[in-house]
Chains A and B, each alone.
Chain A
Amino acid sequence: MEHKVDQKARYAKTHEWVRIEGEEAVIGISDYAQDKLSDIVFVELPAVGKELKAGAACMVIESVKAAEEVFSPVSGSVVGRNEALEKSPELVNSDPFGQGWLVRVKLAAPAEAASLMDAAAYSSYLASL
């Protein structure tokens, strides 16, 4: 099955994406990740103000199968959460790069994102899996 890739995002090997928007960034999980998780039934978002560290577990997504940790692709403090996921966690399945976004952060180290894969590199990475 072919998985969608957002051209404007950068990607971690653990299948989270980040879209840089000035000093802030939006974080989510990739189409590949949501597909592997299967139906998502609960998203435990971090509180606003929480400091996220690149590469560290920052929240939990629960699918019908299991509870899976999400690793933050960048460092920063949470400034926004996708509250719609409380009632509709399945948005992560149906629109992982859009309405299924997870959190918005204020970047602590904007240069970090350069070490993540761009869309083309992530596509080749997916093809190698």
Chain B
Amino acid sequence: METKLHGWHRANGARMVEFSGWDMPVQYETGPREEHLRVREAAGLFDIDHMGRLLISGPQAEEFLQRVQTWDVSRLKPGRAHYSMILNDAGGIIDDIFVYHRTDSWLVVVNASNASKDTLWLKSQAAGLDVSIRDLRDVTCMAALQGPAARQILQALGPDEDLESIGYHHVVERTFGGARVTLCTTGYTGEPGYEILMPARNCEKTWNAILEAGAPRRLIPCGLAARDSLRAEACLPLYGNEIDETTDPLSAGLVRAAVRLEGHDFIGRRALAALALSSLPRVLVGFEMKEPGVPRHGYDIASHGKFIGRVTTGLFSPSTGRYVGMGYVETGFAGVGTAVSIVIRDAHKAARIVERPFYTSPHWR
């Protein structure tokens, strides 16, 4: 599948890669490291049109959402957004999502890799309820403008639009260059910025207008490689790496971020409540290499030669200059400071459990 900006990427030096069935830009000529650093220092523009997005509306929309996802949206005021999850009955993670409360409807943004699965699941759960689930992918295009200069860039594009008053995790409507867009102050980089839903028609014009407005502030387009290293430094989970249907929000350490265990009765809550009372066999941790080497998804984690876990994500972190990673380890080895080793091509390389995230942006206001 191709995003609506596919032609632009091809014409502008992108290297393309297959991602969940989508032909996506993995990097531009700038290269992943520079794209990564630019988002931390200035701003980057990402094509995230592959992300699934569903508009949930109707008299029973809130009741439906309370059943199918983990955040208590009865407390989510219009204009606000929150991270959440869709669980199965066993508490396994079907997907991690963002829920945006618009004035008269809800926007649910889901992973590209899970969009079809989620849509089928949500529609099956909506049976008998007066709720409408509409796929917005054809009528909108989605891009992410991320980094400390993101606000000034959008302000240059729409000098009369109020941006300063919008806090983090909000959703508003604004007009830029004649296009009415839904502006979400969310992202997947650990930097402040926006995720933008624009009309599909003329979306390339809007994309170009943002790039042009951002050029004086060193804005560049960024690919999936930078998106992945940015989210990994911020320890934001990637579905298929840190979380999937065999993992749960407790073991992944995501309950505070995504789940309200006391309150609404969502699918998976009972299983999760039982799990909360038991001792978890394994938990997600962050680690740093003490010996140089690149940990990668699927590598074994060991302690004194004995297998104790598995790497979910590993990388050289451009912003900290360290080789770091995340992984599930047996709970007894999860304490910060614990010495472990990462098995890289049969060699046991020394590593240490460290605090997460690996990088915290100084640009949050």
Interfacial residues, chain A to chain B (CB-CB below 8 A): 1, 38-39, 41-42, 44, 60, 62, 64-65, 67, 86, 90, 93
Q: In the complex, which of the residues A1, A39, A42, A86 contacts B32, with contact meaning CB atoms closer than 8 Å? A: A39
Given A64-B229, A67-B296, A86-B292; A38-B31 close (CB under 8 Å): yes
Whether B225 contacts A38 by the Cβ 8 Å rule is: yes
Residues of A within 8 A of B32 (CB): 38-39, 64
Q: In the complex, which of the residues A38, A41, A86, A93 contacts B294, with contact meaning CB atoms closer than 8 Å? A: A41
Q: Could you tell me the distance in whole angstroms from the C-beta of A47 to the nearest C-beta in chain B?
A: 13
Interfacial residues, chain B to chain A (CB-CB below 8 A): 15, 26-27, 29, 31-33, 225, 229, 292-294, 296, 315-316, 323, 345
Candidate in A1, A44, A90 with the most chain B CB atoms within 10 angstroms: A44
Given A64-B225, A67-B294; A41-B316 close (CB under 8 Å): yes
Q: In the complex, which of the residues B31, B292, B293 contacts A39, with contact meaning CB atoms closer than 8 Å? A: B31
Residues of A within 8 A of B229 (CB): 64
A129-B316 Cα distance, complex, nearest whole Å: 30
Whether B225 contacts A65 by the Cβ 8 Å rule is: yes
Q: Could you tell me the distance in whole angstroms from the C-beta of B168 to the nearest C-beta in chain A?
A: 29
A7-B31 Cα distance, complex, nearest whole Å: 27
Candidate in A1, A39, A60, A86 with the most chain B CB atoms within 10 angstroms: A39
Candidate in B33, B229, B296, B345 with the most chain A CB atoms within 10 angstroms: B33
Residue of B nearest to A60 (CB): B345
Residues of A within 8 A of B33 (CB): 39, 64, 90
Residues of A within 8 A of B345 (CB): 44, 60, 67
Residue of A nearest to B29 (CB): A1
Residue of A nearest to B27 (CB): A38
Q: Could you tell me the distance in whole angstroms from the C-beta of A95 to the nearest C-beta in chain B?
A: 15
Q: Could you tell me the distance in whole angstroms from the C-beta of B11 to the nearest C-beta in chain A?
A: 15
Interface of B: prevailing SS: mixed
Whether B225 contacts A62 by the Cβ 8 Å rule is: no
> What are the nearest 5 A-B pairs in CB distance?
A41-B316, A62-B294, A39-B33, A64-B32, A42-B294
A86-B321 Cα distance, complex, nearest whole Å: 12
Residue of B nearest to A65 (CB): B225
Given A60-B345, A64-B32, A64-B316; A42-B292 close (CB under 8 Å): yes
Beyond A60-B345, A64-B33, A64-B225, list 10 extra A-B contacts (CB 8 Å).
Answer: A1-B29, A38-B32, A39-B32, A41-B323, A42-B294, A42-B316, A64-B32, A64-B229, A67-B296, A67-B345
A/B interface sample: 24 pairs, CB < 8 A: A38-B27, A38-B31, A38-B225, A39-B32, A41-B315, A41-B316, A42-B323, A44-B293, A44-B345, A62-B294, A62-B316, A64-B32, A64-B33, A64-B225, A64-B229, A64-B315, A64-B316, A65-B26, A65-B225, A67-B294, A67-B296, A67-B345, A86-B292, A93-B31
A64-B313 Cα distance, complex, nearest whole Å: 12
A64-B27 Cα distance, complex, nearest whole Å: 11
Q: Could you tell me the distance in whole angstroms from the C-beta of B326 to the nearest C-beta in chain A?
A: 17
Residues of A within 8 A of B316 (CB): 41-42, 62, 64
Residue of A nearest to B321 (CB): A87
A67-B299 Cα distance, complex, nearest whole Å: 13
A20-B145 Cα distance, complex, nearest whole Å: 50
Residues of B within 8 A of A67 (CB): 294, 296, 345
Q: Could you tell me the distance in whole angstroms from the C-beta of A77 to the nearest C-beta in chain B?
A: 22
